[in-house]
């Protein structure tokens, strides 16, 4: 490599290749958010300042309810005093958050996730992955996005640890609905917030909803593009049937279609820490059985 050559970051490679954003939200229905200002190491649990016994206790409790754990912090500053933690339910029709506070990390050893406690909230939470020690792109693209969000929704905005899909940075997760957005520039933050709070999705950056499997996410993307209906709760799934290799028939409320997953090998690694190229998944329409009206 010559002096004037630089290694391509994964987010830059993703944009250059045109990797599809859609149907890339990982499956999550429950979340545990723990305020821990950091710094966050490559492995946030192992490298955090939380005591080992607390880390083990949180992990066991989260696993029991199939919850994903994220560390969170306020953008650009450390808070003094009580820290917050939350349990989030993303199941459609039951979206809500229970917020609690703690002063001693040992209090996190018993979160009571099977019978959630704390202050019940239906308000949105805007998370931005800024986990730079996991992938540099998350910090480079995430921190400016978090700052832009905090300028319009300071109480609802948090930086968070790894959410998946580093190459799609800046990555933004909207809870409690479990909505993933990717490749979000700071200038689009306010628009996405306003659209969400009005009950609509920003399809240009939408990665999918974590409560639905990837074929459903893909089918919803196609139905929304066909109909122009960008409501947050449009086209809920009614059934999914496997019809062949990497192919599914998805019946939505308002449309039925077959989708197929396809894979191609990227020309560069998919993350900044990876050393070899990997497969990129996308979905294509096989046929409409019933188009949206």
Q: Which residue has the tokens 């459903």?
A: 216
pLDDT at 288: 98
Q: What is the model's pTM?
A: 0.95
What are the distances in angstroms from CA 45 to CA 78, 121, 159, 195?
19, 27, 16, 34
Tens digit of each residue's pLDDT, the chain (293 residues): 344 457 899 999 999 999 999 999 999 999 999 999 878 888 776 777 888 999 999 999 999 999 999 999 999 866 677 999 999 999 999 999 999 999 999 999 999 999 999 999 999 999 999 998 889 999 999 999 999 999 999 999 999 999 999 999 999 999 999 999 999 999 999 999 999 999 999 999 999 999 999 999 999 999 999 999 999 999 999 999 999 999 999 999 999 999 999 999 998 889 998 889 899 999 999 999 999 98
What are the distances in angstroms from CA 24 to CA 130, 184, 276?
19, 15, 20
Count other Cβ atoms within 10 Å, centred on residue 202: 18
Spell out the residues 6+ positions from residue 2 whose beta carbon is closer than 8 angstroms to its own. none
pLDDT at 7: 80
pLDDT at 2: 42
pLDDT at 78: 66
pLDDT at 249: 98
- Residue ranges of alpha helices (H) inside the chain are 10-17, 52-64, 136-152, 189-197, 214-227
pLDDT at 4: 44
Residue 114's Cβ-count burial label (10 Å; 0-12, 13-18, 19+) is: exposed
132 CA to centre of own chain: 16
């Amino acid at each position: 490599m010559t002096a004037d050559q630089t290694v391509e970051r994964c987010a830059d490679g993703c944009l250059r290749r045109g990797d599809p954003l859609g149907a890339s939200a990982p499956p999550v229905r429950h979340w545990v958010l723990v305020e821990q200002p950091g710094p966050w190491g490559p492995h946030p649990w192992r490298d955090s300042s939380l005591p080992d016994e607390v880390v083990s206790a949180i992990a066991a409790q989260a696993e029991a309810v199939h919850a994903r754990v994220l560390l969170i912090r306020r953008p650009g500053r450390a808070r003094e005093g009580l820290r917050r933690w939350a349990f989030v339910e993303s199941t459609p029709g039951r979206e809500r958050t229970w917020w609690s506070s703690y002063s001693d990390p040992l209090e996190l050893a018993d979160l009571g996730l099977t019978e959630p406690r704390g202050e019940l909230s239906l308000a949105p939470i805007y998370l931005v992955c800024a986990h730079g020690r996991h992938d540099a792109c998350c910090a480079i693209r995430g921190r400016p996005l978090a700052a832009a969000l905090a300028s319009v929704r300071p109480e609802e905005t948090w930086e968070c640890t790894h959410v998946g899909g580093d190459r799609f940075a800046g990555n933004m997760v909207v809870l409690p609905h479990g909505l993933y957005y990717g490749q979000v520039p700071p200038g689009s933050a306010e628009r996405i917030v306003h659209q969400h709070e009005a009950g609509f999705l920003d399809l240009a950056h939408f990665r999918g909803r974590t409560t639905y499997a990837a074929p459903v996410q893909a089918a919803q993307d196609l139905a929304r593009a066909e109909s122009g209906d960008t409501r947050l709760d449009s086209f809920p799934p009614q059934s999914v049937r496997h019809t062949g290799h990497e192919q599914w028939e998805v019946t939505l409320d308002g449309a039925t279609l077959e989708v197929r997953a396809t894979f191609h090998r990227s020309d560069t690694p998919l993350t900044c820490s990876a050393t070899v190229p990997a497969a990129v998944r996308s979905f294509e329409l096989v046929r409409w059985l019933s188009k949206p009206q």
